[in-house]
Amino acid sequence: MRDEDKTKEQLIEEIVALRRQTAALEARCSAFELSDREPFLSILQDNNTSITQKQGATTEALFNLNERLLADATRLAKAGETLRVAKDQLESVLAAVPGMVSWISADLHYLGVNDHLAELFGLSPDEFIGKDIGFLGAGSDFNNFVEDFFKSPVRDRFGEIVSSIDGTSRHYLIVAQKYNRDRAAFIVGIDITKRQQTLAVLQRLATFDGLTQIANRRCFDETLEREWRRMMREEEPLSLILCDIDRFKTYNDTYGHQAGDDCLQKVAAAMAEAAQRPGDLVARYGGEEFALILPSTPSYGAVTVAKNIRKSLKGLKIPHEQSRTGYVTVSFGISSLIPTIRSSFTGLLESADRALYQAKQEGRDRIVVSSGLKPG
């Protein structure tokens, strides 16, 4: 084996052995009489030269090895410092992330979490390690998202989930990426609850009438088309009520626009009170016109709703001196059918409009049910 290939311990052992060999030769030489030493002196000199050369070579190899070890130690120290800096940077990034960060194994157990996630549930990060991801009891959305992610071939995914934190529903945007040959995933959850709440407000503003606080015309149009398709699939009847406040222009001229707005609000509230089933929709169709969409409701059910609205309005007795009854009344037009591919929701709408026109022509303050639909 070459000296440069030997370990530091091996080189030191060789130097010690050489020194022992030299000492042994010197001891043997001193044991003879001076006249008998001549042969050994020559041998000892030759051995000393050889040993000195070997010792020099070994010492040089040892020195070179020390230099290499020192260089390696320096590199390791620099690498250790680099790793420490990288670790500090990662911890700083994780601390700055405004959300929940976790490392999860493919068998759905926590490998680690950041401080923010731990504090959110009143735990320490160490208390998460090794636990099943469902142990927090925050709802099934997160569990299902992670499980489906590991089952899929994709390496990264994002989506929105809802979790229960201290009994309150919170919305999160989840971003996930696999690592370690897909045996684990790095997952970040950002709280978007405020954004969702803002979107809900904007959605309400876009689909609700600001004055009456019921659905607006846009919402009515979208709902009528959607419910038409649904009732066609389910082969259930769909009823539509169009109604109009009788002599409302005269009411405004008599009492003023502020009173007119108050009247619209009261009528809208009476209609909303009469149609509260899931799927029912009350909308402001026009100025003083209203519409009710009643899924899975035959014509007689729609008539019952219209009668309840009339009864509520009579109980309110909103004064209207230009009306023959002395108070505000409403006229109703009703149309009902089971949607098919041969009919259309525009036909349903036109049929209800004709029935409303008939109610007004016959003296107002009445309910008229369409006798049939013309092709839409």
Token duo for residue 143: 């569990």
Q: Which of 14, 38, 288, 289 is catalytic?
A: 288
For residue 239, what are the CA distances in angstroms to 17, 23, 231, 307, 373?
A: 109, 118, 10, 15, 12
Cα gap 345→353, rounded to integer Å? 12
Token duo for residue 74: 């320096």
Q: How many CB atoms lie within 10 A of CB 232?
A: 16
Supply φ then ψ for residue 23, to 5 degrees: -60, -35
Cα gap 215→227, rounded to integer Å? 15
Token duo for residue 149: 């992610």
For 235, residues 6+ apart whose C-beta sits below 8 A from its C-beta are 338
For residue 203, what are the CA distances in angstroms to 170, 211, 224, 283, 375?
A: 19, 16, 18, 15, 34
Q: Would residue 14 show up in a list of annotated catalytic residues for this protein?
A: no
Token duo for residue 372: 């049939």
330-337 β-sheet, strand order: 281-284, 289-295, 238-245, 330-337, 367-369
Let me know if 238 is exposed, middle or buried by CB neighbors in 10 A (0-12, 13-18, 19+): buried
For 104, residues 6+ apart whose C-beta sits below 8 A from its C-beta are 110, 111, 133, 146, 184, 185, 187
Whether 239 contacts 275, CB under 8 Å: no
156-165 β-sheet, strand order: 110-113, 99-105, 184-191, 168-179, 156-165
Cα torsion angle, 159, 161, 102, 85, sign:
positive
Supply φ then ψ for residue 247, to 5 degrees: 50, 45
Active-site residues: which are they? 288
